[in-house]
Amino acid sequence: MDEAGSSASGGGFRPGVDSLDEPPNSRIFLVISKYTPESVLRERFSPFGEIQDIWVVRDKHTKESKGIAFVKFARSSQACRAMEEMHGQCLGPNDTKPIKVFIAQSRSSGSHRDVEDEELTRIFVMIPKSYTEEDLREKFKVYGDIEYCSIIKNKVTGESKGLGYVRYLKPSQAAQAIENCDRSFRAILAEPKNKASESSEQDYYNNMRQEALGHEPRVNMFPFEQQSEFSSFDKNDNRGQEAISKRLSVVSRVPFTEEQLFSIFDIVPGLEYCEVQRDPYSNYGHGVVQYFNVASAIYAKYKLHGFQYPPGNRIGVSFIDDGSNATDLLRKMATQMVAAQLASMVWNNPSQQQYMQFGGSSGSQLPQIQTDVVLPPCKKKAPPETPVKERLFIVFNPHPLPLDVLEDIFCRFGNLIEVYLVSGKNVGYAKYADRISANDAIATLHGKILNGVRLKVMLADSPREESNKRQRTY
């Protein structure tokens, strides 16, 4: 869908970029009749819970409905229950064609049945190591019918690792468990079995040969890139005739605040500042956005020109000619890309770091972290001689982060002893003097993107178990 007109809910439109998928799986995607009004959707779906927004996809020129709509609920369990009960139903007495209801996903998702079975019914929890499967079932059966429970155990000792899975029969039951269980369980939706194994650390090493041959999966640095409702921009822009700079001009028929402008353009990493400019002669919204580098500005111009905010109002984004030479800017952008690639190579092989010198002073400037994750403030590291209570295994995709950035990230949870990279591999380890701090790091960072790198953070095997692993000969 490259055009999306919408009608906002009576309660007002909430900023879509920041809250569209918060909480996750709280939006449903509807295939309906072209003649179904929003009032009917609200009437039929409001019994399932608080509706935050309803918007109908319309033709760009005729403004007629395309027979597609989205409904945003306040809670994931509400959206899941609406999907379970309304999929295949008729909305009105005169309707002969049943509607289709799915949880809204990106285009890369599989079919509805695969999504329901694999992504919405199995949850991953942290549990006391003394728990048995029966204890786990007893704790979580209050939220719905459980298909099975499993506890992840050390393959050598058979002891629990303090992690488990609970599979429900319905997505709404899994959502209820995540929303209502004790926070100490850190419950989240588990990745489908065909996407991730329960022993991620071992699987990573088993797949090293495929990655060495160039089969490494691509990571989406911008989570909204494949969301169809964010693809509303004019693809016929003549950027070749336009001055290129790090500064962008933003124009809207509807006035906006500086916070709203920031929330839209901050989805592209590298935002330096934004400023709203008041026009006393019109009610239009005008703003200026500046990025730290030209690459981010180009990407923001391409992705956000024509973006609808609020729905039905397209914003215009153009470069501001600041007198810079476009050729020089593009050359700088290419240099930045090469420097990033070189940095990745160097961090993969720390022995080469002494050969890579950058210009400028080597002052103690704090590393810059670009992410949508809410990180706690920095805390002091534990002394190097402190006993290790928990070790974390970290997987980076597509390349490792620099050590100073890693240390800045992982020390924020307290009691960090050391963080280090494995030479030549996209993995590393973090040592903590406290298990609670390590568990907080897992809960906050696992699956998140920081500085364009997706992290997988999980409990590491014990050193004794690692020493028993068979070494690779290639």
**What local confidence, expressed as pLDDT, does residue 111 receive?**
43
The span from the CA of 430 to the CA of 419, in Å, is 4
Sequence-distant contacts of 231-237: CB under 8 A, at least 24 apart:
231/1, 231/2, 232/2, 232/3, 232/4, 232/306, 232/307, 232/308, 232/314, 233/302, 233/303, 233/304, 233/305, 233/306, 233/307, 234/305, 234/306, 237/302, 237/305
**What local confidence, expressed as pLDDT, does residue 366 receive?**
56
**What local confidence, expressed as pLDDT, does residue 271 receive?**
86
**What local confidence, expressed as pLDDT, does residue 178 receive?**
93
pLDDT digits (tens, 9 = 90+) for 336-370: 566 555 555 555 555 444 444 343 334 445 567 77
* pLDDT < 50 regions, the chain: 1-15, 106-114, 116, 196-241, 351-364, 466-474
The span from the CA of 141 to the CA of 461, in Å, is 30
pLDDT digits (tens, 9 = 90+) for 278-318: 666 666 788 889 888 888 888 888 889 888 877 777 889 98
**What local confidence, expressed as pLDDT, does residue 348 receive?**
52
**What local confidence, expressed as pLDDT, does residue 409 receive?**
93
pLDDT digits (tens, 9 = 90+) for 131-155: 999 999 999 999 999 999 999 988 8
Is residue 8 classed exposed, middle or buried when 0-12, 13-18 and 19+ CB atoms within 10 A define those classes?
middle
- Of 120, 212, 228, nearest in space to 175 by CA: 120
**What local confidence, expressed as pLDDT, does residue 179 receive?**
93
* Tokens 């072209």 found at: 34
**What local confidence, expressed as pLDDT, does residue 104 receive?**
83
**What local confidence, expressed as pLDDT, does residue 218 receive?**
39
Identity of the amino acid at 294: V
Whether the CB-CB separation of 297 and 319 falls below 8 Å is answered with yes
**What local confidence, expressed as pLDDT, does residue 326 receive?**
57
Query: Phi and psi for 395 in degrees, rounded to 5?
Result: -115, 130
**What local confidence, expressed as pLDDT, does residue 340 receive?**
58
DSSP string, 349-363: -GGGGGG---SS---
